[in-house]
Amino acid sequence: MRLILLGLGVVGRAFLEQLKIERRDLYESYGINPSIVAVANSKARIYNPEGIDTGSLIRYKEERGTLEGHPDEVDMESAGLVREIDAEVLVDVTPSNLTNGEPSLSYLKAALISGKHVITSNKGPLAWEMPALLEMFRNKGLKLLFSGAVGGGTPFLRFVKKCLSGERILSIRGVINGTSNYILNRMEEGLSFRIALEEARRLGYAEADPSADIDGWDSAAKLVILSNWAMDLGVTMNDVRVKGIRNVEISKELLFKGKTIRLIASADDSDLKVQPEEIDKSDPLAVSDALNAVSFTAEISGRHTLVGKGAGGRETAAALIRDLVELKMYMRGEKPC
């Protein structure tokens, strides 16, 4: 299986490392023998039709701080690379642009045009054009897989599709941003919002610009993906009402009453919103630290809640590997578990 990898940040490198660790098992259990024939980041495009030595590639980048000047560098833009290179699968782990989905949206469309399956952890294109993208890939007999886009290592998407198949999902409620959840947890312990945010930055939970997390836009993008996948709502980011946690205060009086505040993403029919909400501390969504939690309410069997780790290099890489296995089973005409 020939792969193109876009993105060589934390997730991209974790994916390559996980492929190396699991290579033997992937081949023996599923017949997957992946060959990375192209790698691209914002600075350079690398291509070798015989397969790239990814260990050497990573060492090159670590030593020089860039992929520019690599012996296998080619003069192509990333979208052109996706269109022109002979490969079966595009793996897109580039950073998410929640404003308009670009440039990842163009990468996915280039893969579609050239007949490639896509595995992605990028939320941007799905937040803005998920219904159309799913239909276009389906019409061409191609797979668009994205379990790494929501929840990282916790299989929220797979759970609702596999374990609750045949049931109508009535609503979704979740804590789906680890950064904001960590901040709210520390505010429960007496820290101010500003100090909690600074601590989250030091620990690597928050980016230098944390606005997508603390203003609710990351949660909104994930809610769009969950809602389209579980409830077939056909929504985009424009359909979500969003309010973040910048002005939240967690008082001792509130905690004394057995309540707390979480940034809740919810979908009920076509009503989608992200906002801070008071919930009981005993609620399954009152998760600690940077954990994620999602409750699906099914028409017959009621509420089901999954709790687990959210975004992270190794966690997201694990989701990408799961999607790779599902894709291989699809290509062989087998039904994935």
pLDDT at 170 over 90: yes
Shared domain check, 201 and 145: no
77: helix, strand or coil: coil
Query: Is 263 part of a structural domain of the chain?
Result: yes
Q: Encoding tokens for residue 301?
A: 């069997």
176 and 292 in contact (C-beta within 8 Å)?
A: yes
pLDDT of res. 140? 96
Shared domain check, 269 and 162: yes
Tens digit of each residue's pLDDT (9 = 90 or more) over 44-96: 999 999 999 999 999 999 999 999 999 999 999 999 999 999 999 999 999 99
260 and 245 in contact (C-beta within 8 Å)?
A: no
Shared domain check, 74 and 55: yes
Shared domain check, 239 and 288: yes
Query: Is 337 part of a structural domain of the chain?
Result: no
Number of compact structural domains in the chain: 2
Q: Give the CA distances from residue 130 to residues 101, 154, 160, 162, 267, in Å, rounded to whole numbers and listed in that order.
A: 11, 21, 17, 20, 16
Shared domain check, 52 and 190: no
Tens digit of each residue's pLDDT (9 = 90 or more) over 140-155: 999 999 999 998 778 9
Mean pLDDT over the full length of the chain: 95
Shared domain check, 219 and 149: no
pLDDT of res. 240? 97
pLDDT of res. 196? 97
Angle between helices 104-113 and 123-139 (to 10 degrees): 10
Shared domain check, 273 and 163: yes
Q: Encoding tokens for residue 257?
A: 């009453």
What is the average per-residue pLDDT within 284-290?
Answer: 95
Query: Is 92 part of a structural domain of the chain?
Result: yes
Query: Is 13 part of a structural domain of the chain?
Result: yes
21 and 27 in contact (C-beta within 8 Å)?
A: no
175: helix, strand or coil: strand
pLDDT at 335 over 80: no
pLDDT of res. 153? 76
Query: Is 185 part of a structural domain of the chain?
Result: yes
247 and 276 in contact (C-beta within 8 Å)?
A: no
Of these residues, 123, 222, 259, 309, which one is catalytic?
A: 222
Shared domain check, 290 and 181: yes
Q: What CATH number has the domain bearing residue 79?
A: 3.40.50.720
Query: Is 50 part of a structural domain of the chain?
Result: yes
53: helix, strand or coil: coil
Shared domain check, 193 and 64: no
What is the average per-residue pLDDT within 244-267?
Answer: 97
Supply φ then ψ for residue 89, to 5 degrees. Answer: -135, 135
Give catalytic status of residue 162 as yes or no. no
Q: Give the CA distances from residue 181 to residues 33, 205, 288, 314, in Å, rounded to whole numbers and listed in that order.
A: 39, 10, 7, 20
pLDDT of res. 269? 82
Shared domain check, 124 and 63: yes
Shared domain check, 29 and 66: yes
Q: How confident is the model at residue 103 (pLDDT cuts 50, 70, 90)?
A: very high
Q: What CATH number has the domain bearing residue 192?
A: 3.30.360.10
Q: Which helix (H) or strand (E) holds 16?
A: helix 10-30
pLDDT of res. 337? 54
pLDDT of res. 19? 94
Listed residue (1, 13, 2, 14) closest to 318, CA to CA: 14
Taking the C-alpha atoms of residue 62 and residue 57, their distance in angstroms, rounded to an integer, is 9
pLDDT of res. 208? 85
What is the average per-residue pLDDT within 170-199?
Answer: 96
Query: Is 147 part of a structural domain of the chain?
Result: yes
Q: How confident is the model at residue 311 (pLDDT cuts 50, 70, 90)?
A: confident
Query: Is 114 part of a structural domain of the chain?
Result: yes
Shared domain check, 194 and 167: yes
pLDDT at 336 over 70: no
Tens digit of each residue's pLDDT (9 = 90 or more) over 208-232: 899 999 999 999 999 999 999 999 9
Strand ranges inside the chain, DSSP E: 2-6, 35-40, 45-47, 73-74, 89-92, 117-120, 144-145, 169-175, 240-242, 259-268, 271-280, 291-298, 302-309
Domain residues for 321? Answer: 2-153+314-331
| Rg of the chain on CA atoms, in Å | 20
Tens digit of each residue's pLDDT (9 = 90 or more) over 114-141: 999 999 999 999 999 999 999 999 999 9
pLDDT of res. 13? 95
